[in-house]
Structure 1
Amino acid sequence: MRYGNLAADSNGVDDGRPALVLLHGLTFDRRHWSPVLADLALAGSNRRVVAFDLPGHGESPRRDSYGLTELVDVLHEAITEADLTAPVVAGHSLGGVLATAYAARYPVNGVVNIDQPLRSGGFADFLRRSEPQLNSAGFLNVWKTLLDGMHIDELPPSAQHLVRTATDPRQDLFLGYWRDLMHTPNDQSDENTTRTLTAIHTARTPYHYIAGTPIAPTYRTWLETALPDVQITELLGSGHFPHLVHPAAVARALAELPVPTH
């Protein structure tokens, strides 16, 4: 299936509920949602669910650049062509950034952000220090450092298999998707994020943040200040991949949005 310029898997039908849009993380592809989709199917849901390959990933074509604003526009074109009106948008890792940015610009019925902190100062500092290596033949060493921090060996075998096989860690993806972080001062990034969350709060869009490890108190305080109605869930023991370790819990979180108004 292809909508706009993005490859996708479309399941279910339009049954009156907002459709679900699923966005994977950097270097991965739409296969990472297969455990969640299996649980949705087991629960008897026939709701429309569309899992996209992000630009440059899976079966979606590469681009010359991957700025966040243009990615949101590419996603909106695909969502529009798929005839998805104000969907619930869920994203893992970098997909969580994209889901959040999308919700600030276009109508949605909810956002589920899976293990993607929205304050990126420390990570951005790491990328700036690593930029010479990212531009060299040793770029994969930077990715390995990040993977080592995700404790993949502690995941169930099926989750390990997806993380290690449904991936394509290319240099153009790292340099393209991380360019904004590397070249935007941290204080400006924080201001941009605050504006994004203010737009989501003003629109009264339900926002669910799911973490795989304990959330630092300082980050929790910041997030609850920036987004007072945020729902936070910790699915501990799943590292960076709660949707692979606890797919049923993530499926329930998706099914609960939008929040009933009556």
Structure 2
Amino acid sequence: MKFQERETDMTEFFGDLAADSHGTADDRPPLVFLHGLTYDRRQWGRVLHELAVADPGRRAVVFDLPGHGDSPLRDSYRSADVVGVVHEAVTAAGLDRPIIVGHSLGGALATIYAANHPARGVVNVDQPVLVGGFRDVLLRAEPVLRGPEWRQVWNSMLAGMQIELLPADVQELVRTATTPRQDLLLGYWGDLLATPAEELAGLRTRDMGAIRAKGATYHHISGNELAPAYRSWLESVLPEVAVTVLPGSGHFPHLTHPAEVAAILAG
């Protein structure tokens, strides 16, 4: 299979979001997949291939986030607005209380979604939801990010994602199946740039409390061991959290270990 291509040529639209739809509804929780910033739904091709083996016929819908892939641009990419668009698409697709699977930015959006809308669980692929030092890095880079040399900021982010650890074909996918644009970076990082760190931490703590209160599951998949302070926070706000580390995969464990990720989803 060529992972640069779509799993199917039959692009659908649910609400305002382009999607690939797989499987049929049954008693298994449907799966919703959200990719990371600047990427698109092609990122999930390997996992879907393995899921078809591990859990045949499972209902799954893979969305392009607003402004990505085949989904139209929007005036706002703030988290609350994007999550609202995703919820409209999930509803239009007829998905009942899905498990939301998100990589990177998609993992943060999946968390916010599950806190605010009906969901049975979250699978967060390599996205700490506390901003930590990342917000400080963005604030220092903001003048460049808003100027003509904005791509320097994105390139510096890529340099820290350990792409060199990935198999050659996956490296090609990561480097080519992406459309970095200044409006996406400024729009999707808008909350981080405009909101104090303490307020953001409070919002994410509240989200975890809401997820726990509704009895939804939460599984964090990482390419590296979680920072001790972050893991301590995560287990304090969500004691039932499951954490899986898939080493040697950098920021892309779903691409390097798709069978393991599919097994988690099928479990």
Name the TM-score, length of structure 1 as normaliser: 0.96
How much has 1:21 moved relative to structure 2?
Answer: 0.3
1:158 corresponds to which of 152, 165, 169: 169
CA distance in 2, matches of 1:43, 1:149: 32
User: 1:1-262 alignment to 2 at 5 Å?
Assistant: 1-43=12-54, 45-256=56-267
Q: Deviations over 1:92-114 (max 9, x none)?
A: 00000110000001111111000
Aligned length: 256
Q: Deviations over 1:126-154 (max 9, x none)?
A: 11111100111111100111100112122
Report the 3-state secondary structure (helix = DSSP H, G, I; strand = E; otherwise coil) of the residue aligned with 2:51. Answer: helix
Q: Deviations over 1:165-206 (max 9, x none)?
A: 110000000000001101111111101110010000111110
* Equivalent pair of 2:54/2:263 in contact (CA under 8 Å): no
Over the residues paired in the alignment, what is the CA RMSD in angstroms?
0.8
How much has 1:159 moved relative to structure 2?
Answer: 1.2
How much has 1:42 moved relative to structure 2?
Answer: 2.4
Aligned-residue identity in percent: 56
CA distance in 1, matches of 2:164, 2:92: 39
How much has 1:45 moved relative to structure 2?
Answer: 1.1
Report the counterpart of residue 260 of structure 1 in structure 2: none
Report the 3-state secondary structure (helix = DSSP H, G, I; strand = E; otherwise coil) of the residue aligned with 2:61. Answer: strand
Runs of 4 or more, structure 1, over 2 Å off, are none
CA distance in 2, matches of 1:42, 1:192: 38
Q: Deviations over 1:11-55 (max 9, x none)?
A: 111122111000000000000000000101123510111000000
Gaps of 5+ in 1: 257-262
Report the 3-state secondary structure (helix = DSSP H, G, I; strand = E; otherwise coil) of the residue aligned with 1:27. Answer: coil
Q: Deviations over 1:205-233 (max 9, x none)?
A: 10000010111111111110011110011
* Equivalent pair of 2:126/2:223 in contact (CA under 8 Å): yes
Report the counterpart of residue 5 of structure 2 in structure 1: none
AA paired with 1:223? L
Report the counterpart of residue 259 of structure 1 in structure 2: none
CA distance in 2, matches of 1:123, 1:43: 36
Name the TM-score, length of structure 2 as normaliser: 0.94
CA distance in 2, matches of 1:19, 1:52: 13
Report the 3-state secondary structure (helix = DSSP H, G, I; strand = E; otherwise coil) of the residue aligned with 1:190. Answer: helix
CA distance in 2, matches of 1:87, 1:119: 24
CA distance in 2, matches of 1:64, 1:70: 10
How much has 1:8 moved relative to structure 2?
Answer: 0.2
